[in-house]
Amino acid sequence: MEFLQAVEDVVKEFNNLEKRTVRIVGHLDADGISSTSILISALKRENIKFNVSIIKQIDQNILDELKKEDYPIIFFVDLGSGNLSMIEKALTGKHVFILDHHKPEDVKTNLIHLNPHLYEMDGDIELSGAGVVYLFARKLNEKNKDLSYLAVIGAIGDMQESKGFIGLNNEILKDAIQSRKIEIKDGLRMFGMQTRPLHKVLEYSTDPYVPGVTGNEKGAIRFLGEIGIELKENGKFKKLIHLNQDDTKKLITGIILRRLGSEDKPEDVLGPIYLLTNEEEENPTKDAREFATLLNACGRLNKPSLGIGTCLGNVNIKNKAINLLIDYKKEIINSLNWFYSHRNTSDIVERKGYIIINAEDNIRDTLIGTLASMISKSNLYANGTIILALAHTLEEDTKVSVRICGNSSVDTRNILNDILKVTGGIGGGHKGAAGCLILQEKEEEFIKTAEKVLGKVAIEEEIK
Ligand SMILES: [Mn+2]
């Protein structure tokens, strides 16, 4: 396969270099943290020293800093492809490796650039950043097959898993199973089944979203009562993993019934669950999906080193990361509650075909995309509805996230670009999930322009 040949070539180039300390720059999300951890482990194995930074996005300041530093080899992992010309210009004379899966900037470059999009693969679903780094590591040293599970976590973090994997992701999963790091079970794909009391699992279940239950503790308890499942057993709250077959069936049926009318298939709650064989039962690191969320939490709460430490198997750091995850989940539920309680205010515009949420300082900028994703997966709005959500950043800019409800052919990046043509700002992302940063004083203009653009999209979709 051409891509694997390209991986081999890149590894050869790397092997030909004299190795002092390698500089790693990784993306601040679950996939980026997995990517970084795989590269760290692989370099450790070769006794190569490294120095790591995790960043939200590449900008001129960061490149200026890297230019000043004395590292001849720099790896960009899970980012960089969108900034090829900037990077090439800033870092001439250094050996730059870009291992990424985001849509590349359409320019010719002399950088060492590994990206599935360049080989007619869909980097949105067939391979994650961590997958690219893993394939590099595997070629570097066969032993690195034991890192494949981290690439599975990275892909799940980037939402590339939907009842299974396709493309190279699937090959990586096979490596993870073969190296006995991951086992697959079929079941109810609910978050926290290892860790939380059942009613809490339901309350915090954002994917699947359960109407009347997600974000609503009383609703969750009432729901369990309705379907005839006891909250406690021997005085202790039941966990999902403790349910007998009968109760599990009741729960599945109950959830499916609640989700009827939701555009995605109600039975989507069932499917493969990826368990990490070396992790303890009832820990958030047992289930690969929870592991990915834990890494995301570390990124979003600006503690990526806790995520890396967890991936590298440091128990102390892992415990800290788990506590962080608990705070993160609380904050997500709070943001969902803010959304519900402001639906009839001017903070939230609801029109046919689109909604605009202007959270300002009420929701952390790093969580606004998560909120938009959650709403897109609820069945609050019709299939194809576009969700635009804005929140202020600490740097006093405005972060915007765009999502779409259900399945749609619309590319969120195009929508964003149409708006940004008017207001200015830097955007990026994937087909189904895009985001950008704009100046705060452009917020009003952005919303006005967005209403025009989104109104047009909504009409076009109706005609189709
Ligand atoms: Mn990624």
Residue 268, pLDDT > 80, answer no
Ligand 1 center from residue 284 Cα (angstroms): 21
Name the residue ranges covered by the structural domains of the chain.
2-167, 187-338, 342-463
Q: How many residues appear in the chain?
A: 464
Kindly indicate the confidence band of residue 19, based on its pLDDT and cuts at 50, 70 and 90. Answer: confident
Query: Looking at this protein, which amino acid is placed at residue 201?
Result: V
Ligand 1 center from residue 129 Cα (angstroms): 5
Please state which CATH number belongs to domain 2-167: 3.90.1640.30
What is the overall mean pLDDT for the chain? 91
Helices and strands, counts by H and E, the chain: 16, 15
In this prediction the pTM is: 0.83
Ligand 1 center from residue 220 Cα (angstroms): 33
Ligand 1 center from residue 251 Cα (angstroms): 33
Among 145-159, 235-249, 366-380, the range with the most confident prediction by mean pLDDT is 145-159
Look up residue 354 and give its DSSP letter.
Answer: E
Q: What is the pLDDT of residue 262?
A: 60
Q: What is the pLDDT of residue 407?
A: 75
pLDDT tens, residue by residue, 63-111 = 999 999 999 999 999 999 999 999 999 999 999 999 999 999 999 999 9
Handedness of CA 44, 46, 48, 54 (dihedral sign): negative
What DSSP letter does each residue of 144-202 carry, written as one string?
Answer: GGGGHHHHHHHHHHTT--SSS--THHHHHHHHHHHTTSEEEEEEE--TTTTTSBHHHHH
Ligand 1 center from residue 458 Cα (angstroms): 29
CA 306 – CA 111 distance, rounded (Å) = 31
Please indicate whether the domains covering 2-167 and 342-463 agree at the CATH topology level.
no
Angle between helices 30-45 and 148-157 (to 10 degrees): 160
24/325: higher pLDDT: 24
Task: Give the closest residue to 100 by CA, choosing from 136, 72, 69.
Answer: 136
Ligand 1 center from residue 238 Cα (angstroms): 35
Residue 378, pLDDT > 80, answer no
Contact (Cβ atoms closer than 8 angstroms) between residue 423 and residue 449: yes
| Domain 342-463 -> CATH class | alpha beta
Contact (Cβ atoms closer than 8 angstroms) between residue 384 and residue 405: yes
Contacts of 59 (CB under 8 A, 6+ apart): none
CA 197 – CA 237 distance, rounded (Å) = 5
What the block records as the tokens of 279 is 């992790």
Handedness of CA 273, 279, 280, 284 (dihedral sign): negative
Q: What is the pLDDT of residue 270?
A: 82
Q: Rounded to 5 degrees, what are φ and ψ at 277? A: -65, -30
Residue 123, pLDDT > 90, answer yes
Look up residue 104 and give its DSSP letter.
Answer: P
Residues with CB under 5 A from ligand 1 (ion): 31, 78, 129, 158
Kindly indicate the confidence band of residue 241, based on its pLDDT and cuts at 50, 70 and 90. Answer: confident
What distances in angstroms separate CA 449 from CA 11, 35, 416, 445, 456, one per listed residue?
Answer: 46, 37, 10, 6, 11
Q: Tell me what the mean pLDDT of segment 362-367 comes to.
A: 92
Look up residue 209 and give its DSSP letter.
Answer: B
Ligand 1 center from residue 433 Cα (angstroms): 12
Task: Give the closest residue to 122 by CA, choosing from 131, 110, 134.
Answer: 131
Q: What is the pLDDT of residue 214?
A: 83
Q: Match 């989940």 to its residue by tokens.
A: 329
**What is the separation of C-alpha 384 from the centre of its chain, rounded to a whole number of angstroms?**
21
Ligand 1 center from residue 151 Cα (angstroms): 10
Ligand 1 center from residue 160 Cα (angstroms): 9
Q: Tell me what the mean pLDDT of segment 295-309 comes to.
A: 94
Ligand 1 center from residue 75 Cα (angstroms): 15
Ligand 1 center from residue 278 Cα (angstroms): 25
Ligand 1 center from residue 31 Cα (angstroms): 5
Ligand 1 center from residue 352 Cα (angstroms): 32
